[in-house]
Amino acid sequence: MRALVLVIALSSPGAAQTVVPDFDLLVRGGTVVDGTGASGISADLAIRGDRIAAIGQNLGAARDTIDATGLVVAPGFIDMLGHSEFRLLADGRAISKIFQGVTTEITGEVSSVAPVSEATKAERGPEIQPWDVEIDWEDLDGYFARLERQGTAINLGTWVGLSTLRVYGVGWEDRPATKDEMAAMKDALAGTMAQGAFGLSSGLIYAPGRHSPTTEIVELARVVADSGGFYATHMRSEGARLLEAIDEAIAIGEQSGAPVLIHHLKASGRSNWGKMAAAVERIEAARARGVDVMASVYPYVASSTGLDQVLPNWVTEGGTDSTLARLQDLATRDAVEAELSGRTQAGDWTLGTSAGGPSGIQISDVLNETYERYEGMRLDAVAAERGQSPAAAAIDLLVADSLRTSAIYFSMSEDDLVLAMRQPWVMIGGDAGIRALDGPLATDQPHPRAFGTFPRVLCRYSRELGVFPLEEAVRRMTSLPAERAGLTERGRLGAGQFADLAVFDPDSVCDQATYEAPKRLPVGIAHVLVNGVPVLRDGEPTGELPGRALRRVPVSRDKSE
């Protein structure tokens, strides 16, 4: 390869020669870990436009150079479980992601930006109103057009959320879809898949998605399989019925032909600790008989979701307005408080069973200013301060916050987490939308995974605990999720691949966010490039917004196979 191209100016016989560099950017002197799990090599990496042009020594000149001496040059990390679809419209900088080395996110776990109807707009409206975001698109193409028009620092792809499909086609009723409703959902799903969605994702502990029987999900997953997509699931149970939930996820993949991704595989609740071994055994058995099943985890022993998840299912039927009406009715409220204040037959708390009761639930984010002082407190402490039962305190918070209070549930065993992480088919998903330290996305108190997930894998679980070597840790965050999503030109380093890079110090990279102080940036990520453009350079955001909407190219599968 010639290092330089000489261009002769023809305007006059004595014109000077102009030297044009071969490359736009050269990342020089680092250890290239390509994402496949192979050992790192000492090499330079050259970028031309949005692609990697070459990897090797003495590649030639470039317009710009990044010194990566002492650093690892890896593919940008792919977050297989994000929630940034609306947040990116409020703040495209994606600060909490780029500081972790994340260059691509797949979103839409429970709800999604498409399909769109007046009902789906109403469902998401309260969530996005504080960010001054309005749903002004009619389909996935419209959303992606707006995203790219506004600009994003990271690439974004999406599933179609089962709950959005149910709101679109059925509503909030707890019943199977009718034949006509099923046809409407299948048509909407097929249309969104044709516009580039990656598959179907279900949140089966959340209404209204949990109202779908297995047969209905299989029928929808067949639509996805016919387009070459995959089925992802937050299963019906991650605790007492974990194994049955895994069986359902596997059956849906087996009967529909869609590859499966189990979101945040875990054994939740002290009484279920140790079930991970049986969960892994079930998945391995399915894989052995040819079912394509993978899973993701986040590297924490506490989960995070809405505080409203402590409410009995009968209270939450019909959506937010119906739930609030019940909680504001004194007789119904008393019945809810009595039910939540009881114990299960096993002696566990009814309120926060998986977390060991109210002391295992930390209030993480409150929108109502009157109650913001409770952020970071455990629910039992909130109740004590208010002179109430924990159930009454939870109800008061939820009513004041229109059900939007978030909580952290300390419910998992690190032994189970480590066992899951050791499986070669387990990737990483942060399960958090983007946050920032200023602007509209800086007001809440998230789970620390929002700022720390990917550096924590490299720090605690690779470097400190030795769960896997660094090269394997990188594979779990790059080529493995790219394989599941069908991102053939991302997730590994090689000539012709998109130039998404994370450049980090392997000796110092680490998370800093804690449950008490979650909005702390990680350390050790020096440079992050998205489509060949630095979005983080020398540890500082550049303000560039080179991210793109990612569409899965529909693939027709032979139904006879």
The encoded tokens of residue 90 equal 């409020």
Helices 214-226 and 242-256 sit at what angle, rounded to 10 degrees? 40
CA distance 221 to 255: 9
Q: Return the half-sphere exposure (C-beta side, CA atoms, 13 A cut-off) of residue 410.
A: 13
Topology of the domain covering 176-262+265-296: TIM Barrel (3.20.20)
Whether the bond into 115 is cis, omega within 30 of 0? yes
SS3 of residue 496 by DSSP: coil
Per-residue H/E/C for 48-65 = ECCEEEEEECCCCCEEEE
Mean pLDDT by 10 residues, the chain (561 residues): 36 53 96 98 98 96 98 98 97 98 97 97 91 96 98 98 97 96 98 98 95 98 97 96 98 98 96 96 98 98 92 89 93 91 80 89 90 92 94 93 92 97 98 96 94 98 98 98 96 98 98 96 98 98 98 66 39
Evaluate whether 231 touches 222 at the Cβ level (below 8 Å).
Answer: no
124 to each of 116, 130, 196, how far by Cα in Å?
11, 11, 21
The pLDDT assigned to 317 comes to 86
The encoded tokens of residue 103 equal 């260059």
The encoded tokens of residue 415 equal 């032994």
CA distance 211 to 317: 10
Residues 459-508: pLDDT tens digits? 999 999 999 999 999 999 999 999 999 999 999 999 999 999 999 999 99
Task: Give me the amino acid identity at 400.
Answer: A
Domain boundaries, the chain: 176-262+265-296, 306-410
Evaluate whether 322 touches 343 at the Cβ level (below 8 Å).
Answer: no
The pLDDT assigned to 4 comes to 35
Output Rg (C-alpha) for the chain, integer angstroms: 24
38 to each of 34, 74, 359, 474, 529, how far by Cα in Å?
7, 12, 44, 10, 22
The pLDDT assigned to 10 comes to 35
Mention every residue, 6+ apart, whose C-beta is less than 8 A from residue 541: 93, 95, 98, 99, 153, 535
The encoded tokens of residue 542 equal 């550049």
Evaluate whether 32 touches 41 at the Cβ level (below 8 Å).
Answer: yes
- 147 — phi, psi (to 5°)? -55, -50
Query: Are β-strands 23-32 and 41-48 bridged in parallel, bridged antiparallel, or unpaired?
Result: antiparallel
Kindly state the DSSP code that residue 552 receives in the 8-state scheme.
Answer: P
Evaluate whether 491 touches 502 at the Cβ level (below 8 Å).
Answer: no
The pLDDT assigned to 9 comes to 35
The pLDDT assigned to 319 comes to 85
Query: Are β-strands 4-8 and 17-21 bridged in parallel, bridged antiparallel, or unpaired?
Result: antiparallel
The pLDDT assigned to 276 comes to 98
Residues 202-216: pLDDT tens digits? 999 999 999 999 999
Q: Which residues pair with 202 in a beta bridge?
A: 233
User: From its phi and psi, is residue 45 left (phi > 0), alpha (psi between -120 and 50) or beta?
Assistant: beta
SS3 of residue 333 by DSSP: helix
